[in-house]
């Protein structure tokens, strides 16, 4: 990255100074991978329906498979990351994704997409990258480090859906899949240049001391944190998939306006994530949970009250707080574990969150069928309750 670009990004508030060489490379890898992912991920349900003639039930089944597979791989990934070189596990995570878009490009029906869907669901990098970051980061600026690296994902998703949509309409979806393949490969290649990292103390532990999933669940604080963040993930995924539909059904916006509002949400998650990260390092992590939940509630209330596009731009920016749950969870949970079991430790709340995310859209759909307003009202109440719980530090006791 040139010095001039670096200074411009610093001007816009992206604090790369908290990242060392390895973490900057991890940021770059996430940025490349998320851009490649965004090229087709937003369009994939539409592609399956229009090109592969998949029914809504079949599409829903594929996405349920994605969430279940991801939830099932997290603890396995954590166990590998605590035993082997974390660098190699992160690279393996991207390598598992590389064939997915190629499989999608040659699939002639939704059944032929299954191998790609399963590979695309492997989340080896989730607990592994969290453990890597906390070991490599400046502990006094840990929250900001996590939210800065998380911002790479948001930045990658700001423009890539629009680029993917344009290319799909002009040169075809197959070209989009090929480009995603290239960006996934680039994300893997960048990680080749980071330093290796092994968990300290694992090899000195006897097999009886190496904690299993259920043994870790007996840790009271970890269990309470897992439930708390699973609730956050549930509320987010209960209504978030229905925002585009709400904008179309209630306010009668078209694809372009909805796409713009979606991009603004990702921009908000990047900017607000970094700002909240700075506040969290200064005032405490409970403070940023409260702030993010209050902002989520405010944005949802404004969404229900105002249909004006310019107001909705502000609403979408604030709604970016819903996308930073993962980085906040990492910053709060990961420091509590010894390095030898850190990846497995963080995989517990991540697994809880993924399983709750699997159930949430279905419940949200039932509520939306009753009234488009119902899932949003439940989310408002739920986020305010979580804010109160965070304010009392109930999950830290």
For the packed helices 309-318 and 285-305, what is the interaxial angle rounded to 10 degrees? 160
379: domain CATH number? 1.20.1250.20
* Global pTM value: 0.73
Domain assignment of residue 311, yes or no = yes
What lies within 8 Å, CB to CB, of 357 at 6+ separation is 67, 233, 234, 236, 237
From the list 365, 361, 393, the residue with the least C-alpha distance to 68 is 361
> What pLDDT, in 10s, does the model give residues 84-131?
888 888 898 889 899 999 999 998 888 888 899 888 888 877 778 888
Range of the domain at 290: 17-195+209-396
Q: Are 173 and 47 in contact (CB under 8 A)?
A: yes
Domain assignment of residue 344, yes or no = yes
Tally of domains within the chain: 1
> What pLDDT, in 10s, does the model give residues 147-165?
788 778 878 888 888 788 7
Domain assignment of residue 100, yes or no = yes
Domain assignment of residue 276, yes or no = yes
Domain assignment of residue 4, yes or no = no
Domain assignment of residue 1, yes or no = no
How many Å apart are CA 151 and CA 147, to the nearest integer? 6
> What pLDDT, in 10s, does the model give residues 226-249?
888 888 888 887 887 778 778 878
Domain assignment of residue 308, yes or no = yes
Domain assignment of residue 144, yes or no = yes
């Amino acid at each position: 990255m040139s010095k001039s670009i670096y200074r411009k990004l610093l001007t816009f508030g992206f604090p790369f100074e908290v990242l060392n060489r390895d973490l900057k490379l991890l940021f770059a890898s996430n940025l490349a991978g998320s851009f490649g992912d965004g090229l087709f991920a937003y369009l994939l349900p539409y592609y399956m329906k229009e090109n592969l003639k998949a029914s809504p039930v079949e599409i829903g089944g594929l996405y349920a498979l994605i969430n279940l597979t991801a939830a099932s791989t997290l603890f396995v990934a954590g166990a590998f990351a605590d035993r082997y070189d974390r660098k190699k596990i992160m690279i393996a995570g991207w390598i598992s994704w590389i064939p997915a878009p190629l499989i999608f490009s040659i699939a002639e029906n939704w059944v032929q997409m299954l191998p790609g869907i399963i590979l695309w669901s492997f989340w080896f990098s989730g607990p592994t990258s969290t453990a890597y970051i906390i070991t490599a980061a400046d502990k006094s600026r840990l929250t900001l480090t996590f939210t800065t690296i998380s911002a790479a994902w948001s930045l990658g998703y700001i423009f890539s859906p629009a680029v993917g949509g344009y290319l799909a309409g002009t040169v075809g979806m197959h070209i989009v899949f090929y480009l995603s393949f290239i960006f996934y490969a680039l994300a893997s290649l960048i990680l080749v240049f980071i330093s290796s990292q092994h968990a300290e103390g694992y090899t000195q532990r006897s097999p009886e001391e190496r904690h299993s999933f259920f043994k870790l669940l007996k840790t009271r604080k970890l269990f309470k944190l897992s439930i708390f963040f699973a609730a956050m993930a549930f509320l987010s995924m209960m209504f978030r998939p229905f925002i585009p539909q709400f904008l179309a059904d209630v306010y009668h916006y078209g694809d372009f306006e909805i796409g713009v509002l979606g991009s603004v949400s990702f921009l908000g998650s990047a900017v607000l994530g970094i700002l909240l990260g700075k506040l969290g390092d200064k005032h405490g992590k409970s403070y940023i949970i409260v702030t993010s939940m209050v902002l989520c509630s405010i944005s949802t209330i404004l969404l229900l009250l105002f249909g004006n596009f310019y107001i909705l731009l502000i609403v979408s920016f604030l709604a970016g707080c819903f996308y930073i749950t993962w980085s906040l969870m990492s910053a709060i949970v990961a420091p509590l574990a010894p390095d030898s079991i850190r990846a497995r430790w963080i995989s517990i709340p991540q697994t809880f969150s993924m399983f709750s995310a699997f159930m949430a859209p279905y419940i949200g759909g039932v509520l939306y069928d009753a009234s488009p307003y119902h899932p949003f009202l439940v989310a408002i109440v739920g986020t305010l309750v979580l804010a109160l719980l965070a304010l009392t530090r109930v999950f830290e006791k």
